[in-house]
Amino acid sequence: MTATDPLHAELKRHFGFDSFRPGQEAVVRDALAGRDLLAIMPTGGGKSLCFQLPALLKEGVMVVVSPLIALMQDQVRLLADNGIAATFLNSTLSGAEAAQRIQALRRGETRLLYVAPERLLSPGFIESFLQPLRETVGISAFTIDEAHCVSEWGHDFRPEYRQLSRLRELFSDVPVFAFTATATQRVREDIARQLSLHQPALHVASFNRPNLYYAVKPRGARSFDELLAHARSTRGSGIVYCLSRKRVDELSSELQAAGIAALPYHAGLDGETRREHQDRYIRDDVQVMVATVAFGMGINKPDVRWVIHYDLPRSMEGYYQEAGRAGRDGEPAGCILYFGMGDIRTAEFLIAQKVHPQTGEPLEDEQRIARQQLRQVLDYADSTECRRAVQLRYFGEPHPGSCGNCDNCINPRPLQDWTLEAKQLLSAVARLAQRRQRYGAGTVIDILRGAKTEKLISAGHDTLTVYGIGAGRSAEDWRSLTRSLLQQGVLEETHDGYPVLLLNAASWEVLRGERTVQMAAPVAAARGSGKGRAAKAAVAAGVVPDSEEDGLFEALRALRKKIATEHGVPPYVVFNDASLRAMARERPTDQDAFAGIPGVGAKKLDEYGWDFTALIREWQPDKR
The residues of the shown chain that bind Mg ion, judged by CB under 5 A, are 47
- Helix, strand, coil shares of the chain, percent, nearest 5, are 50, 10, 40
Nearer to Mg ion, 12 or 148 (CB): 148
> CB under 6 A: which stretch of 20-28, 228-236, 347-355, 441-449 binds ligand ADP?
20-28
Nearest alpha carbon to residue 42 among 376, 330, 421, 422: 330
Question: d(Cα 351, Cα 315) in Å, to the nearest integer?
Answer: 13
Q: Which residues in 525-584 contact ligand ADP (CB under 6 A)?
A: 576
Task: Please give the DSSP secondary-structure letter assigned to residue 126.
Answer: I
28 binds, among ligand ADP, Mg ion, none (CB under 5 to 8 A by kind): none
| DSSP of 12-74 | HHHH--SSPPTTHHHHHHHHHHT--EEEE--TTS-HHHHHHHHHHHSSSEEEEE-S-HHHHHH
Pick from 12, 39, 44, 545: which binds ligand ADP (CB under 6 A)?
44
Name which position in 27, 28, 30, 46 contacts ligand ADP (CB under 6 A). 46
Out of 158, 314, 328, 604, the only residue in the binding site for ligand ADP (CB under 6 A) is 328
Which of 12, 47 has the CB closer to Mg ion? Answer: 47
Question: In whole angstroms, what is the distance from residue 333 CA to residue 44 CA?
Answer: 12
Q: Which residue is nearest to Mg ion (CB)?
A: 47
What is d(CA 17, CA 560) in angstroms, rounded to the nearest whole number? 19
Which of 36, 311, 329, 385 is in the footprint of ligand ADP by CB under 6 A? 329
Burial of 467 per CB tally in 10 Å (0-12, 13-18, 19+):
buried
| Among Mg ion, ligand ADP, none, residue 45 binds (CB under 5-8 Å by kind) | ligand ADP
Of 17-25, 277-285, 348-356, 581-589: span binding ligand ADP (CB under 6 A)? 17-25
User: Is the Cβ–Cβ distance between 36 and 197 less than 8 Å?
Assistant: yes
**Virtual torsion, Cα 148, 154, 157, 162, nearest 10 deg:** 50
What three-state secondary structure class fits 412? coil
Site for ligand ADP in 584-603 (CB under 6 A): 598
Contact between 23 and ligand ADP (CB under 6 A)?
no
CA atoms in the 13 A half-sphere facing the CB of 26: 12
CA distances from 51 to 36, 79, 135, 168 (A): 12, 12, 22, 18
**CA distance between the termini of the chain:** 40
- State which residue, 302 or 340, has the beta carbon closest to ligand ADP: 302
Q: How far is the CB of 620 from Mg ion (least distance, A)?
A: 37
Q: How far is the CB of 573 from ligand ADP (least distance, A)?
A: 10
Give 46 or 218: the residue with its C-beta nearer to ligand ADP. Answer: 46
* 67: partner contacted, choices ligand ADP, Mg ion, none (Cβ within 5-8 A by kind): none
What is the C-alpha separation between 392 and 162, in angstroms, rounded? 30
Point out which residues pair with 64 in neighbouring strands.
Answer: 114, 143
Asked whether the beta carbons of 174 and 134 are under 8 A apart, the reply is yes
Please select the residue that binds ligand ADP; options are 12, 17, 282, 612, rule is CB under 6 A.
17
Determine the residue type at 457. Answer: I
**One residue of 278, 300, 507, 613 binding ligand ADP per CB under 6 A:** 300
Task: Return the number of the residue (21 or 106) whose C-beta is nearest ligand ADP.
Answer: 21
- Among ligand ADP, Mg ion, none, the one that 601 touches (CB under a kind-dependent 5 to 8 A) is none
CB 127 within 8 A of CB 121: no
Residue type, 117: P
**Partner interacting with residue 542 (select from ligand ADP, Mg ion, none; CB below 5-8 Å by kind):** none
Q: Whole-angstrom Cα distance, residue 571 to residue 279?
A: 11
In which region does residue 132 sit, left (phi positive, over 0), alpha (psi from -120 to 50) or beta (all else)? Answer: alpha
Rule CB under 6 A: say whether 143 interacts with ligand ADP.
no
We find the least distance from the C-beta atom of residue 111 to ligand ADP, in angstroms, to be 16
320 in contact with ligand ADP (CB under 6 A): no
**By CB under 6 A, residue 51 contacts ligand ADP:** no
User: Among residues 217 and 604, whose Cβ is nearest to ligand ADP?
Assistant: 604
CB-nearer residue toward Mg ion: 47 or 217:
47
- Find the binder of ligand ADP among 38, 41, 386, 584 (CB under 6 A): 41
Task: Kindly state the smallest distance separating residue 78's Cβ from ligand ADP, in Å.
Answer: 7
**How are beta strands 333-339 and 212-218 bridged, if at all?**
parallel
Part in contact with ligand ADP (CB under 6 A); list of ranges 15-23, 214-222, 388-396, 586-594: 15-23
Alpha-carbon gap, residue 217 to 581, rounded angstroms: 29
**Is 146 or 382 the residue whose CB approaches ligand ADP more closely?**
146
Nearer to Mg ion, 42 or 334 (CB): 42
Rounded to 10 degrees, the C-alpha dihedral 170/174/175/177 comes to -70
Query: Binding partner of residue 329 among Mg ion, ligand ADP, none, CB under 5 to 8 Å per kind?
Result: ligand ADP
Q: Does residue 473 interact with ligand ADP by CB under 6 A?
A: no
What minimum distance in Å lies between the beta carbon of 598 and ligand ADP? 6
Q: Per CB under 6 A, does 297 bind ligand ADP?
A: no
User: For ligand ADP, which residue of 45, 340, 545, 601 counts as binding (CB under 6 A)?
Assistant: 45
Which of 12, 31, 40, 48 is close enough to bind ligand ADP by CB under 6 A? 48
CA 317, 320, 323, 326 torsion-angle sign:
negative
How far, in Å, CA of 405 to CA of 409, rounded? 7
Indicate whether 43 belongs to the interface with ligand ADP (CB under 6 A): yes
Who contacts 162 (Cβ-Cβ below 8 Å, separation ≥6)? 150, 194
In angstroms, what is the minimal distance from the CB of 18 to ligand ADP?
7
Provide the binding-site residues for ligand ADP, judged by CB under 6 A: 17, 20-21, 24, 41, 43-49, 300, 302, 328-329, 576, 598
